[in-house]
Each structure stands twice: as C-alpha cells, then as structure tokens.
Amino acid sequence: MVRGYIFACTGASQKECFERKLFGTSKLYGAAAMRVKKNDFLFLLNLNSDLLYGVFKAVTDGRFNIKPEAWNGAYPYQVRVEPIGEIVPLKDAKKLLKKLGVGRFSVMGKATVLKILELYRPSNIPMNEWYRFLTQAEGSASLTVSSEPKSWQLFGQTQKMKEEDVEEVPQLQATTLWDFPRQSYGKTPKGDNKYAGVTPAELIWNLVWRYTEPGELVVDPMCGSGTTLDVCKEEGRKAICYDIAPPASRSDIIQNDARKIPLPDNHVDLVFVDSPYGDNIRYNEHPDCIGKISSEQERFYDELEKVIKECHRILKPGKVLGWLIGDQWVKKEFTPVGFLLYERFLKYFETVDLIMIVRRGQASHTSLWYNRARRFNFYLRGFKYLFIMRKPLLEKKENETPRVINWTYYERNNKKKVD
C-alpha cells in the first residue's frame, strides 16, 4: 500500500527536524501522525519559507514521544525518518498542496503520492525507474539538501487526484455545536449503527483526542454495541467497556452494572457515558436496566446519580467525564432530562463545557412528523446535551476571591455615512 503524509515545521524548528531525523506535530494533527506506518512516504512543509522538502521515508510507525525532549516537548506525536537520496525543496508548496487537496489532516493515497513524487523526479530518469528506486532504496544515514529549490509549476497542470480507499482522519470540533451526519467514520465500523441509541463514533473520537494521550485508559460503563472500544483501539488508547447486557457478538464487552464499577479509585483518564434518557428505548430485557425507568420519575435520576458517583470515584483528579443525554417530550409533557441530571453532576464535578449534539437517525426525522410538529404546535427533539465535566484537583475553598477578567472591548462603528 502506498501512502504519504505532510509534516510541517517553521524556520526555527526545521534544523532540529533534520538533525534528529525526526518529524513531529502537536495534538491538533496528532491523529494523522499516529497513523504513519513504517515505509510510508513523508514530506516536510516549512510554513515560513513555503518550501516542501522531500523525499523522506518513515523508518518507524508514528508514536507518542519517541524523543520527549525534542522541540522542548511541543510536538510529541512523532516519527523517525530517513532521506531517500538528496532532499529537494519545492517552491510555492502551499499552493501546490491546495491544488492537490492535501491537508495536514490528510492521509494521501497512491495517486496523490505518485503525483508529488513525480515532481521530485530527476529529468533524466523515467517515472517507473524513479518510483522503483524510491520504494527499494534504503534511507540514507546522511541528510543533504539541494541548495536550488525546484518549481513544480514547470510540470504543467496539477490538480486534486481521484483516490480510492483512503483512510479518513476526523478533525477536532471547534464550536459547542457538533453535527455528525454518519454514525461511523473511516474504513472500519465503530459499534453497530443498527443498535438502539448508538453513539456517533466521531463524538467519542473528539473526546479521546482532546482529553487523553496514546496509551491512556478510557472507560465506558454503558457501552452498548462497543463504539468506544472500536474508537480507542484505532486511536491507540486502552479501553475497558461494560454493559448490563452486552451484545452476544461482543466478547470484549464485560457484563456489569454501571452503578458499581469494578475498578480502583483514581484510576481512569477518561470516562464516557451515553446513558438512557428514560424508558423511551427498549435497550435490553435485563430487569435492572435503568432504561426501564421513566425520566418523569425521581428514581431515574437517583439511579443515574449512582453512576455519576462511580465515575467520579474511578477518575483521576483533573480528568474528564463526557456524558451524552437528551430531553423528553411525550404526550404534551416536556421533561428537561438534561437540566435535571446536570444538577446532580454539580455535586461532584466542575463544568468544562456543555456541547449540543445534533440528533440524526431519529424515527421522527420524516416529513410526516415534521408536518405534525407544525400542525399541532410542538417541537421535535433536535439535539442532545454532551456534558463535559472535570473531577476537581482539590476541594474548592469557601470565600474564594472572584476571578478578574481583563476583557478586550472593541469600538462599534456607528458613524453614519455622509452623502
């Protein structure tokens, strides 16, 4: 399989990349870096000079902190590299990558990699011989860089290549509104998209990449069809997942009631929970399933609070819990499930943020139900809450001095135009 990746540097960090023969990146692009495999083709983009250096070959898989001290720890998602022959810089690199549709999140497939490799080809060597040399050559122990940058524009039209079977890498969400049109992502399914109340895999991916590092432990005490397990396996995290009634097809899900999690105190780096929102879905036939209790009853919140307490107990101080929950409207009665549950959270956790998750795949997402909502003056459920909560590092002291925030105010342009 032919694959390639773009790493980036600045004028200040390029020298260390070359001296260490090590490429690295921050968490923002870490998921792509961790997908690098030995013998993949790599290219280094200098963001200041707009030069693209190549050709390099990966001599390790992407790893976390191969050299923790490199770049003073700023770029811990790393891969060791070797140059293949003399390294040549291509001019106007950002324009080239834009034309090819290549980003730093991208995994480049064979067609795009071959197109870029062709731009580095010496004029006296046919492309088939050049590719054979690049794939068979051992990396060089020394690294020499051509003093003459090369212009890719001399090769004529360059455009986005049609790729087949290219691995998808999600991106971190930047706002408090998350919308995932598909339940899963990438080549392999995460969880079972036919499972009742299945969680969007990219939601879990975002929590995993924001709040954990490779090798850390994620726990899902109500994991359903195993979406959390599948995401963590692909992203290099350890995972322990439980369910009160695991699917027969998932031997890697441990049967357990979330109200009593068999793990030590202060042990876990991230907990994710997609709990029942009431008795609106028939999850399983287990008599103790919390999803058999109506969210209109106080007992529903009492039982979920037991789960909250267990999550708090097993989390390490300062670590994060993500909890997905939705409200209920049925037979002209609205139940603010999210608000009622959030009150329980505040007994144990600090709030990191509240995210709105667009609801998709609902049975009510039909023209019939949309028409009913308008005719009979009610609202279909359009979102769920994702509570992101942190276990406090220390108990809060009473009568703490309020924070002082130096806001930046901008003048409004209220001047009227004069004719």
Residue pLDDT, tens place only, 392-418: 997 666 667 888 988 888 887 765 555
Superfamily of domain 177-390: Vaccinia Virus protein VP39 (3.40.50.150)
Most confident of 158-162, 209-213, 408-412: 209-213
Quick check: 158 pLDDT over 80? no
* pLDDT, tens digit (0-9, with 9 covering 90-100), for 286-315: 999 999 999 999 999 999 999 999 999 999
Name the more confident of 10 and 146. Answer: 10
Quick check: 155 pLDDT over 60? no
Mean of the per-residue pLDDT values of the chain: 91
Name the more confident of 68 and 142. Answer: 68
Q: What's the whole-number mean pLDDT along residues 6-25?
A: 96
pLDDT more than 90, % of the chain: 71
Quick check: 157 pLDDT over 80? no
Quick check: 243 pLDDT over 70? yes
What's residue 167's pLDDT? Answer: 79
What's residue 21's pLDDT? Answer: 96
What's residue 187's pLDDT? Answer: 85
Q: What's the whole-number mean pLDDT along residues 138-152?
A: 80
What's residue 355's pLDDT? Answer: 98
What's residue 106's pLDDT? Answer: 84
Q: What's the whole-number mean pLDDT along residues 358-373?
A: 85
Which of 292, 281, 219, 289 minimizes the C-alpha distance to 254? 219
For residue 355, the one-letter residue type is I
Please tell me the distance from the alpha carbon of residue 63 to that of residue 81, in angstroms, as a whole number: 12
pTM metric for this prediction: 0.90
For residue 186, the one-letter residue type is G
Q: 7-21, 59-73, 391-405: lowest mean pLDDT where?
A: 391-405
* Range(s) within the chain of domains with CATH label 3.10.590: 4-155
HEC profile of the chain: CCCEEEEEECCCCHHHHHHHCEEEECHHHHHHHCCCCCCCEEEEEECCCCEEEEEEEECCCCEECCCCCHHHHCCCEEEEEEEEEEEEEECCHHHHHHHHCCCCCCCECHHHHHHHHHHCCCCCCCHHHHHHHHHHCCCCCCCCECCCCECHHHHCCCCCCCCCCCCCCCCCCCCCEECCCCCCCCCCCCCCCCCCCCCCHHHHHHHHHHHCCCCCEEEECCCCCCHHHHHHHHCCCEEEEEECCCCCCCCCCEECCCCCCCCCCCCEEEEEEECCCCCCCCCCCCCCCHHHCCCCCHHHHHHHHHHHHHHHHHEEEEEEEEEEECCEEECCEEECHHHHHHHHHCCCCEEEEEEEEECCCCCCCCHHHHHHHHHCCCCCCCEEEEEEEECCCCCCCCCCCCCCCCCCCCCCCCCCCCC
Name the more confident of 161 and 167. Answer: 167
Backbone angles phi, psi at 281, to 5 degrees: -125, 140
Which of 191, 207, 208 minimizes the C-alpha distance to 199? 191
Please tell me the distance from the alpha carbon of residue 302 to that of residue 333, in angstroms, as a whole number: 21
In this structure, which CATH number among 3.10.590, 3.30.450, 1.10.3470, 1.10.10 belongs to the domain 4-155? 3.10.590
Q: What's the whole-number mean pLDDT along residues 360-389?
A: 90
* Range(s) within the chain of domains with CATH label 3.40.50.150: 177-390
